[in-house]
């Protein structure tokens, strides 16, 4: 190398809200359902790391042995790194489903938020971290035209398998800022409810509403363990005051209102 030769400059982050690129090798090509390349992301998936130490979680996401990654990583103090280019398929969603999509990695951007998660007692997300995540999400949604109904929790796309980012994540605040869908949760009261072991037309109607929202649920009129997991995932995101997998009147009313809001959003 001569004195005048220059080293190549490091890649700049896709988002102005990321401090720098900290590259992970764990990514591939985005593909359409028919296998052709070039799928554009139109979903945003939020995760928590679920590990006690943020630095260890970051290293795991960048370790080729792990076979996992995300596009962005947000520390507790709000410091944000980009691990995978937005145009590439990061390996963050795993086996998942939403609104007929089964290759969520190809159609989404994933953000990992440093938090010990449920294994660590699910501590509150610090204000600096939430503010940074919100700025990042808003920027991504604006640049990629991601609609509110496609801003989701990892638990939404993988009910029963994943429970992050958890019921303490401030989804209402994000929706009020234009990121994600929200309907005021109906008050929790007594009355008729549906739970595992029940079956019939009312359960089928409940399943149909969940399917309309986007959850991967069979409409067969049977309230089984899979439907219970979907109900719990829905509650964790949209009715977080009580997460028990029981479809009470509050859950059903909130679901109905969200389906109506989703339909309005899609036709707007």
pLDDT in tens, 196-245: 999 999 999 999 999 999 999 999 999 999 999 999 999 999 999 999 99
Helix H or strand E encompassing 111? strand 108-113
- pTM attached to this predicted model: 0.94
Residues acting as catalytic residues = 112
pLDDT in tens, 73-104: 999 999 999 999 999 999 999 999 999 999 99
Return the C-alpha torsion angle 142, 32, 165, 181, nearest 10: 50
By the 10 Å C-beta count (0-12 exposed, 13-18 middle, 19+ buried), 225 is classed as exposed
Does residue 165 contact residue 153 with C-beta atoms inside 8 Å?
yes
């Amino acid at each position: 190398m001569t004195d005048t030769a220059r080293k190549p400059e490091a890649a700049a982050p896709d988002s102005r809200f990321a401090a720098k690129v900290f590259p992970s090798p764990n990514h591939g090509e985005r593909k359409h359902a028919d296998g052709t390349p070039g799928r554009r992301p139109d979903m945003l998936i939020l995760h928590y790391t679920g590990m006690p130490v943020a630095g260890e979680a970051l290293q795991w996401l960048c370790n080729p042995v792990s076979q996992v990654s995300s596009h962005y990583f947000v520390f507790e103090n709000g410091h944000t790194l980009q691990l995978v280019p937005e145009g590439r398929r990061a390996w963050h969603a795993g086996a998942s489903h939403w609104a007929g999509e089964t290759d969520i990695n190809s159609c989404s951007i994933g953000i990992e938020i440093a938090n010990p998660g449920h294994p660590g007692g699910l501590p509150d997300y610090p204000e600096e971290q939430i503010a940074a995540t919100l700025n990042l999400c808003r920027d991504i949604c604006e640049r990629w035209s991601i609609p509110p109904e496609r801003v989701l929790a990892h638990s939404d796309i993988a009910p029963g398998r994943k429970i992050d980012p958890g019921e303490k994540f401030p989804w209402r605040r994000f929706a009020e800022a234009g990121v994600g869908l929200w309907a005021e949760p109906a008050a929790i009261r007594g009355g008729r409810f549906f739970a595992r072991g029940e079956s019939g037309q009312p359960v089928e109607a409940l399943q149909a509403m969940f399917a309309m929202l986007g959850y991967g649920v069979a409409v067969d009129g049977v309230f089984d363990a899979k439907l219970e997991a979907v109900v719990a995932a829905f509650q964790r995101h949209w009715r977080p005051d009580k997460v028990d997998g029981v479809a009470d009147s509050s859950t059903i009313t909130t679901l109905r209102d969200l389906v109506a809001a989703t339909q309005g959003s899609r036709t707007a």
